[in-house]
Amino acid sequence: MSDQKFGDLLIQVQAAEIEITRCDATIRTLWTELRRLARLGIAASTEYQHLIEVENERQRRISLRERIRATLASASK
């Protein structure tokens, strides 16, 4: 693997980790809002749908990060 490709993969891992952190923060915020709305007896289907979408995006980013890490590990052997 070329140094350029290796460097690009490292950058992609860092970008995925940033997005995972962003998703984590959004998920915490959405859960807080859902609990608040539930206490008020307000239907929160839109917020719940957004939460599911963000959780799915987080899982996609984690999978991407792990695939890149596996590629990096096999390249460094």
Can you list the alpha helix ranges (DSSP code H) found in the chain? 3-40, 45-75
pLDDT at 13: 94
pLDDT at 66: 96
pLDDT at 51: 92
pLDDT at 77: 64
The Cα–Cα gap between 54 and 58 comes to 6
Statement: the pTM of the whole predicted model exceeds 0.85: no
pLDDT along the chain (77 residues), means of 10: 88 95 95 88 83 95 95 83
pLDDT at 37: 87
